[in-house]
Amino acid sequence: MWPELADKALSLSDESVTFADLLLVGIVSGLLDEAMEATRRGIWAIQERDADLPRGQLLQAAVAFRRRRKLESGQDLRAWLEARQLTMDDWEAHLRRSLAGRDLADSAPTPSPWLDVDLDSHAFAVDLASSGCWKQFSDLAARLWAATRLVEDPSPPSEGDVLDEAARIMSVHQELASFGEQWCIDGLRTLRTRQRALDEVTQSCATTEAVEARLVEHATDWMTFRFAELVLTTPEAANEAILCAREDDLDARDLAARTGLELIETFSRRDSVPVAIAALLDGAVPDEPIGPVALGGQWAVIWLRERDRPSLEDDATRKAAAAELLEEALDKASVGLIREANVL
């Protein structure tokens, strides 16, 4: 079954990384456990339903799968599957497990009964190959490696901790037995050291000084708007609504009640708002109707509620700034130095 763990998965500059190395990344990070749970959940959900999924739902999932991977023709799909030694039946079974498991998420019982399901090794291998897990492992391996290029002499982990963890991993994951315990020890030592480097870089990108400087750069595009929308079918109807609101001194809720239309309350960052609306909100007076704005065949009247610049006091904004700084630093450290196998 694909992949052969000894095969090369990617190059990090002059360092060669095998699929076994990536599997170790998945184990250490917990991503492999999450993937196992997803497969178990899908198997359990299908058993509980005791019926096949609607064909239409399966077709929608297949179309979405192909679009995400740019598999535009049937030949593209067959080549993708062949490269991973998968059959059409394998692929459809993966889609069924994924859909069944996803449907279960909203009504999942507690504790999770699927955790006791025996893991079908073939189904799990298919899900790993089809769900993008190997790509996840690869991306994390690259991030960890890039971090070491930004930190001078990251501190290594305790040798005793590494030996104990290696023993546990080798006892559980028999598929790694052929690589030997020393391979596992060396790999763990490298991963834990690189994780410390990534933690250090993450902290440096989250300092108040670094975040504040990034927020100044994003003063406009990260501005937040809270606004209300009333959507009408024609520009004439929208203009009439604006005139009515102004002449009768009606606020947004009163006008919505009079027209019988739903008032949509929105809170969004400027760079996520349609350009035409953002341009109007930039100079709008709070609680004054503006528009009409064309919205894909319909027309909106808008009331600005609040307009705020990005602030250090907002946790979500701080995290977004720090995350952007981190990704930029890692990308800069690794640009042009990473080569992945095509199958990833």
**Domain CATH number, residue 251:** 3.10.50.40
Give 295's pLDDT tier (boundaries 50, 70, 90). confident
Q: What pLDDT does 107 receive?
A: 67
Q: Is residue 265 part of a domain?
A: yes
Report CA 8 to chain centroid distance, whole Å: 26
Q: Give the domain-ending residue among 204, 232, 258.
A: 204
Give 50's pLDDT tier (boundaries 50, 70, 90). low
H-only helix segments in 149-230 = 159-172, 181-205, 208-217
Among 332, 312, 311, residue whose Cα is nearest residue 223: 311
Do 184 and 52 lie in one domain? The reply is yes
Q: How many angstroms separate the CA atoms of 10 and 340, rounded?
A: 4
Among 249, 251, 241, 228, residue whose Cα is nearest residue 302: 228
Is pLDDT of 43 > 80? yes
Q: What pLDDT does 51 receive?
A: 66
Q: Is residue 321 part of a domain?
A: no
Do 200 and 231 lie in one domain? The reply is no
**pLDDT tens track for 151-168:** 998 889 999 999 999 999
Q: Is residue 49 part of a domain?
A: yes
Give 109's pLDDT tier (boundaries 50, 70, 90). low
Q: Give the domain-ending residue among 175, 204, 233.
A: 204
Do 31 and 114 lie in one domain? The reply is yes
Percent of the chain at pLDDT exceeding 90: 84
**pLDDT tens track for 3-37:** 999 999 999 999 999 999 999 999 999 999 999 99
Do 127 and 230 lie in one domain? The reply is no
Do 91 and 14 lie in one domain? The reply is yes
Confirm if 224 and 308 have CB atoms less than 8 A apart. Answer: yes
**pLDDT tens track for 186-203:** 999 999 999 999 999 999
Do 260 and 164 lie in one domain? The reply is no
Among 253, 90, 61, residue whose Cα is nearest residue 245: 253
Q: Is residue 154 part of a domain?
A: yes
Give 286's pLDDT tier (boundaries 50, 70, 90). very high
Q: Is residue 37 part of a domain?
A: yes
**pLDDT tens track for 111-163:** 778 888 899 999 999 999 999 999 999 999 999 999 999 999 888 999 999 99
**pLDDT tens track for 308-342:** 999 999 999 999 999 999 999 999 999 999 999 98
For the segment 214-230, the average pLDDT, to the nearest whole number, is: 95
Tally of CA atoms within 13 A in the half-sphere of 236 that contains its CB: 0
Confirm if 23 and 188 have CB atoms less than 8 A apart. Answer: no
Residues 161, 167, 172, 175: is their CA dihedral positive or negative?
positive
Q: Give the domain-ending residue among 158, 176, 204.
A: 204
Do 74 and 157 lie in one domain? The reply is yes
Do 130 and 32 lie in one domain? The reply is yes
Q: Is residue 131 part of a domain?
A: yes
Q: What pLDDT does 114 receive?
A: 84
Which three-class secondary structure state does DSSP give residue 108?
coil
For the segment 211-227, the average pLDDT, to the nearest whole number, is: 96
- Spell out the SS3 assignment of 135-168: HHHHHHHHHHHHHHCCCCCCCCCCHHHHHHHHHH
Do 160 and 29 lie in one domain? The reply is yes
- Relative to beta strand 224-232, strand 8-12 is unpaired
Do 39 and 126 lie in one domain? The reply is yes
**pLDDT tens track for 231-276:** 999 999 999 999 999 998 899 999 999 889 999 999 999 999 999 8
Give 102's pLDDT tier (boundaries 50, 70, 90). confident
Residue 108, burial from CB neighbour count under 10 angstroms (0-12, 13-18, 19+): middle
- In sequence order, the β-bridge partners of residue 301 are 230
Neighbours of 155 (CB within 10 A): 11
Q: How many angstroms separate the CA atoms of 280 and 301, rounded?
A: 11
Number of domains observed in the structure of the chain = 2
Residue 200, burial from CB neighbour count under 10 angstroms (0-12, 13-18, 19+): middle
Q: Is residue 333 part of a domain?
A: no
Do 198 and 60 lie in one domain? The reply is yes
Q: Is residue 267 part of a domain?
A: yes
Mean pLDDT across the chain: 93
Q: What pLDDT does 338 receive?
A: 96
Do 36 and 178 lie in one domain? The reply is yes
Domain with 153, as residue range(s), is 8-204
